[in-house]
Chain A
Amino acid sequence: MELFTNQVLAGIATGAIYACMALAVVMIYQAIDHLNFAQGEMAMFSTFVSWQLMQWGVPYWGAFLLTLIFSFLGGIAIERLLFKPLAKAPILTNVAGFIALYAIINSFAGLIWDFTIKQYPTPFGSSPFLGSQLISTHQAGMIGVTLLLLIALYFFFQFTRMGLAMRAAASVPESARLVGINTSWMIALGWGMAAAIGSIAGMLIAPVVFLEPNMMLGVLLYGFAAAVLGGLTSPLGAVVGGFLMGIFENLVGTYIPGVGNELKLPIALALIVTVLVIKPAGLFGRPIVKRV
């Protein structure tokens, strides 16, 4: 039983990261109807930036905050420069754009910081949490930060003018424009927030998977799986999907023999395909009906 509780708690901790990634993916998907394949690389780059800041002597939380601002502005810049002109282009062109962005960021991170694996500090320490053997303080910190973020986002979207405007721009762009919302900038804002949320995921997972240019590939795939499981049209679904993925991954790894770390990615693949075949809209998403 202790093993089970232990694994579930550890699953919730990694699930928190997947939830962040899925949320970032869903935010961009809602804004422009495209999946951001470069989301993981953007998060990885942000994490490297925070690492560099710490190398220059900035304390952890200072670097954390600066990186958030950097990612937010970076996300907006990417949208304005590269993806706004592609808004009316065919899907293929957009997919090509995301793939290009993926290759550029990955390659530049390798050029600037090279491909060696680096240690990344944690502000929470790694001793047992509250004296129990079930969970480490860093894992507890991961869960805590994610919950704080989710609550903040909930209040932002439910109770502020800006949040309402962003929701309106995502769900009914034409009507939103008619009531005077600048939908184009709302999309840019969505990109900025998605980049910032992604960078939080990157900075929290980096102490676990270590810092290197390819560190986010697996995390991104699980983020995608989580987003698909929860339904690409539902932010709440993305979060629930993220936690479910984390728990599922850990339990499968523990209880099914022969399934260890080597099968991490194939499991995500199998899940994505299964969900898309059985319930393409996901758990919380709305099915899309096309009018001819």
Chain B
Amino acid sequence: MIQAGVIGVGQTKYDAKRRDVSMAGLVREAIDNAMVAANIEWDAIDAVVLGKAPDMFEGVIMPELYLADAIGAVGKPVLRVHTAGSVGGSTAVIAASHVCSGQFKTILTITFEKQSESNATWALSPRYPFSPHINAGAGGYFAPFMREYIRRYEAPEHIGWKVAAKDRQNALKNPLAHLHIPGIDEKMVSDTPMLWDPLRYLESCPSSDGACAMVITSQDQVGSRNVAWIKGMAVRSEGTLSAGRDEVNPQAGIDCAQDIYKQAGITNPFNEIDCAEIYVPFSWYEPMWLENLGFCDLGEGWKLTDRDATAIDGEIPFNMSGGVLSSNPIGASGMIRFGEAALQVMGLAEDHQVEDAKVAMGHAYGGAAQFFAMWIVSSSLD
């Protein structure tokens, strides 16, 4: 198979309301940053892959049509991906697939959400014919899964506060992060109101405007550039409702992780992966994904969190950038994980760099914890 790598990552400043830019301006900000980082000219871009979550988040249908000029796609192939919250990750996988297919050399991929244009909880709460109307938003939907995790493994309440505080402390090292909360600690999190038991206000992700772009190219185009080599990538889906489905530890997540480990030749992810950007929109998803992704046995995830293993200087740092808990432009949130993983192995993560990171993981999930996209990137091709 053709080897592909990331040669440029570009992000916007994330914020609740980016009133200074239009949607076109927002995506272009990330793209310009990616193109400069990749040190590449527009002529070298063979195709553009755009991803975002539901069109109802902005009220623009199939926005690749309106954005064709802003994303530099005019005269080129463009593909629009929508796979729920995992979309930022699956868009990166599809962009890399363009290169690995042999049909294209260099791809620009861009994901965005401008949540301030609409109201995500409204858009997430449609009235389906013949179905009960659950006006819950995402937090209310996932809360029962987290309660079940806590029940199964007798996890103490402070684990959720700890994850929320740790990710926001990391965000203070990332100037692009949406939430910068000086002095954030467990106490501050635990003092905030309960939104959806067990989630308190500061244990939930924010609504953000933002975009993330990457330039992905084939081995023969890399030249002397700094590269994050894609060593494994995969997607998996499972149905919303099926007999025996375990929402706490979804099989699709297990399968997807095992697939990329196999591709990358990883047998012990805890030891062999230096750091990971994992999709944790609600605090309890950190211990849940630690287990689902095979970093530890079932029931052991919260103990890793408790002993600071996921801190930026811990054994397996999670979400050094501040994660989804600190910036959540939904359609881009997955690609930010993939792009931040790439920045780590390129050594470009600045103040939130994990020392000597060589192998990193990017992860995204969506729907009812049923859609997964993941990749492993490495500083070396071997």
Do the two chains belong together in a single complex? no
**Chain A residues in contact with chain B, CB under 8 A?**
none
